[in-house]
Every structure is written in C-alpha cells, then in structure tokens.
Chains A and B, each alone.
Chain A
Amino acid sequence: MRTVRLTVYRFDPTSDERPRYASYEVPYRSGMTVLDSLLYVKEKLDHTLAIRYSCRMGICGSCGMTVNGLPRLACYTQVKEVGWRIKVEPLKNHPLVRDLVTDFTDFFRKYKSMRPWLIRTDAEEQENPTKQYTQSDAELERYIQFSYCISCGLCYAACPVVTALPEFPGPQALASLYRFLADTRDHGRRERLRIVDEAVGLWRCHFAGSCSQVCPKGVDPALAIQLLRREAMRG
C-alpha cells in the first residue's frame, strides 16, 4: 500500500523549549485530503497532535495551515495534488497556539474594524423595513465575488506586507470593506474610506497578489483592494 510521509510542525509553548518536526507514515487511500491524513495521525499514531477543523468541506475555514510552503485549507487539498512527502506547518502571520493551531484574535479584530455590515443612514427603515432593497444583476456582481469569503485567514498568512507590518489590516479585512463599499445598499462610503486612508492602511498593499493565489474560494482580495484604492483616490 502506498504511504504518505507527513512532516508536521510540533510545538507546545506550555512545555516545549523549541519547535520540532515529527514524521509520520500514513497509508494512502483514494481521495485522501491533507486533513484526512492528519486525522489519521491523530486517531492512530499520535493523539497529542493539535489541529483545528470542523466542516471538512471547505466551508467553515477552520483548517488553514501551511502545506508544502503555501497556505491552504487542509480539507480542500488532495494529497495527490501536493505529493507523497508533505510538510505541514501552522499558518504564518498568525500567532501560534499549539502545533498547527493559530490564534485568529488579531485577524478578527481587524475584520471587525472594517465594520463588515451594511451602514444605513435610515436606521428606522432598516429596523422596520417598509419595502425590499432591490438590486440589479449588475449591482450584485460588483460585490458578490467578495462576499464568498469564509475568513479562513489564508490570504492573511500569504501577504508579505502583514509579515513585515503586523498592524496592516490584511487582504481579508480590506476586501471585506470593499465588499460593503461596492454594495448599493450601503451608506457608509465616507466612514469606510476614512478607516483605511492611513499610513498603515490601504496604501501599503503593493499588489503582490499572493492573497488571490491562495484564496480557496476565488474571492480575489487583490482585485478588491485595487478597486478600493481607486475609490479612495476618488475620495
């Protein structure tokens, strides 16, 4: 039977002096994902391995990790796709909790700071709507792509600016801001542009495109950020 050789980053800050890599041989079966192979390790070989996952089908965005050097969703990555020797590490740019589990506190704080909800000037109408908010297909297409984000943090891990500048909001937060800015139902344009027009804000994106390369949902944050930049230039 064909086996997969997993090299897994192991580090428990509460007991270990320094990180180490552990190797495991996992029997391959057709259709096996990287998450399947890690779960095999956890169930059969080493139950102390810490991983985070939930839906196993690329929807919840919990199992982001660095697989052979690139951020990927473990449940969305076929073993066959990445080879028979797989190196699995935690996501970069996120503080480490243990083994492959990272802390998303900063990530979600930045997301929230973008006010990712519809801002309306008619609060009363919003609370007690008297009619539907209608949109044309063309209006929907301006932002629908960016609303597929599952907040898995892969773009944030791939962004070279976040590595250098941890205060940078990151691709996910900026793209989510554009998602609402481009929505015809939103009234928060000025407020949103003020949030990102900072020295360590929107303008520090250099279109390295790594966010769009690794996004598992086709959100293309790099496109959203460039369009946001155009809007910010218009003022």
Chain B
Amino acid sequence: MRTVRSQARSYPLVLKTMLVPVGYTVERWSYTLQRVTGVVVTLYFVLHVVETGNFIGGPNVWYVPPKDFAAAYYQHVKELLHNPVFDAGLVVIGWMVAFHTINGIRLTLAHFGITLGKPARVDPESPPRSFSNLQRAIFWASIALATFAAVYSVDALFGVLSG
C-alpha cells in the first residue's frame, strides 16, 4: 500500500496549525496566544537585559565610571528608544506579559487537573468536563487583565491618564 507521508507534515501546515486556531475553542486560542506571547516576551527580555547592561557601562565598564557613562549615554538611549512606534510596541509587550502570566497560572492549574471537572459517566448533553467554567473564566480574566495592563502601559509611556 502506497501512502503519502507528505500530507502529515509541512512547515506551512505546521505554522498554520500553530498560529491560526480558527474554528476551535478558546483552549486552542490560549495555546496559540501563550506560545506567541512567550516568544515575543522572551525576545523583549533578551533585549531588556542587553540594553540595561549597555546603559550602565556596557563593555566600557572597566575603564569608564558607570554613573558618568550612564549620564552621557542617557540622551542617546532616549533618542533611540523614546519614539511613538517603540512605545506602542512596549504597550503590546505589557499586554503580552500580563496575558502570559495569568494564562500561565491557568495552565499550571489545569496541568495538575485543578479547575477541571472530575471524570464521570459520559453525558452527551454536556460539554467536555475539561472545558470547565472556572478554567475558561480564568482565560477571560487573563484577557481582561492584559487589557488593563495595556491601558496602564499606555499611560506609563504616553501619559494620558490624569493623576
């Protein structure tokens, strides 16, 4: 029997499956969002560590006093990073960090069977017990809190709220 193995795996198919959860439940959207936010926040984390390190001396720390270096470097950093596009990017990062955190708590609980229903006899009228209201409520809470974090980030970067 000749079978076509290529149907099983190709990169366009893998990426589409991973990144486009259309037609599936919120759990599948959570999987995609958790993965995308994780990768983006990791990139931000690496850049953050590098940039803060550069700010306080960078590779010149051995022969330039860090404080003087930072004083001289501050204007450069501000010119480089303080622009509307970058600030808007940081707002998105704010959303992603909050979402990944709260949804991460939800996934940790679910991975230990907490927040899910108990196994029982099949009831054809009921949705799967793993799609429990509590677990889904935490997902929506992660969206809500992430949006709140984004609003706070808008204020932190653009100063729009009144104190």
Q: Per the CB under 8 Å rule, do A and B touch in the complex?
A: yes
How many residues in B have their beta carbons less than 8 Å from beta carbons of A? 42
Binary CB contact string for chain A from 97 to 140 against chain B (1 if under 8 A, 0 otherwise): 10000010000000000000000000000000000000000000
Q: Is B78 in contact with chain A by the CB < 8 A criterion?
A: no
From 143 to 186 in chain A, residues with beta carbon under 8 angstroms from any chain B beta carbon are: 143-146, 148, 158, 160, 163-164, 166, 182
Binary CB contact string for chain B from 110 to 133 against chain A (1 if under 8 A, 0 otherwise): 111100111111111010111100
CB pair B123–A166 under 8 Å, yes or no, is no
Q: A residues bordering B, Cβ < 8 Å?
A: 11, 13-14, 69-70, 90, 92-97, 103, 141-146, 148, 158, 160, 163-164, 166, 182, 206-210, 212-213, 215, 217-220, 222-224, 226-227, 229-230, 233
Given the complex, which residues of B lie within 8 Å of A215, measured CB to CB? Answer: 128
Could you give 22 example pairs across A and B, Cβ below 8 Å? A13-B3, A96-B3, A96-B4, A97-B1, A145-B120, A148-B122, A206-B34, A206-B35, A207-B27, A207-B31, A208-B27, A209-B31, A209-B130, A218-B124, A218-B126, A218-B128, A222-B128, A223-B129, A223-B130, A227-B119, A229-B113, A230-B111
- Cross-chain contact of A220 among B1, B13, B35, B130 (Cβ < 8 A): B130
A143–B120 Cα distance when bound, in Å, is 8
Given the complex, which residues of B lie within 8 Å of A206, measured CB to CB? Answer: 31, 34-35, 107
Q: Distance (Å) between the CB of A168 and the closest chain B CB? A: 11
Q: Is B160 in contact with chain A by the CB < 8 A criterion?
A: no
A148–B123 Cα distance when bound, in Å, is 12
Given the complex, which residues of B lie within 8 Å of A207, measured CB to CB? Answer: 27, 30-31, 107, 110-111, 130
A224–B130 Cα distance when bound, in Å, is 9
Q: Distance (Å) between the CB of B115 and the closest chain A CB? A: 9
Q: Distance (Å) between the CB of B8 and the closest chain A CB? A: 5
Given the complex, which residues of A lie within 8 Å of B119, measured CB to CB? Answer: 141-146, 182, 220, 223-224, 227
Query: When A11-B4, A95-B5 are in contact, do A213 and B128 touch as well, CB less than 8 Å?
Result: yes
Q: Which residue of A lies closest to B121 (CB)?
A: A144
Q: B residues bordering A, Cβ < 8 Å?
A: 1-5, 7-9, 13-14, 17-18, 21-25, 27-28, 30-31, 34-35, 107, 110-113, 116-124, 126, 128-131
A97–B35 Cα distance when bound, in Å, is 33
A206–B116 Cα distance when bound, in Å, is 14
Given the complex, which residues of B lie within 8 Å of A11, measured CB to CB? Answer: 4
Given the complex, which residues of B lie within 8 Å of A220, measured CB to CB? Answer: 119, 128-130
10 more A-B residue pairs beyond the given contacts A97-B2, A144-B119, A226-B111, with a C-beta to C-beta distance below 8 A:
A13-B3, A70-B23, A92-B7, A103-B1, A145-B119, A163-B9, A166-B9, A182-B119, A210-B28, A220-B119
CB pair B2–A14 under 8 Å, yes or no, is yes
Most chain A beta-carbon neighbours within 10 Å: one of B5, B18, B119:
B119
CB pair B8–A93 under 8 Å, yes or no, is yes
Given the complex, which residues of A lie within 8 Å of B107, measured CB to CB? Answer: 206-207
Given the complex, which residues of B lie within 8 Å of A148, measured CB to CB? Answer: 122
- Cross-chain contact of A226 among B14, B25, B130 (Cβ < 8 A): B130
Given the complex, which residues of A lie within 8 Å of B113, measured CB to CB? Answer: 226-227, 229-230
CB pair B122–A145 under 8 Å, yes or no, is yes
Given the complex, which residues of B lie within 8 Å of A230, measured CB to CB? Answer: 111-113
Given the complex, which residues of A lie within 8 Å of B25, measured CB to CB? Answer: 209-210, 213
Q: Distance (Å) between the CB of B22 and the closest chain A CB? A: 8
CB pair B23–A69 under 8 Å, yes or no, is yes
A222–B13 Cα distance when bound, in Å, is 22
CB pair B5–A226 under 8 Å, yes or no, is no
CB pair A223–B128 under 8 Å, yes or no, is yes
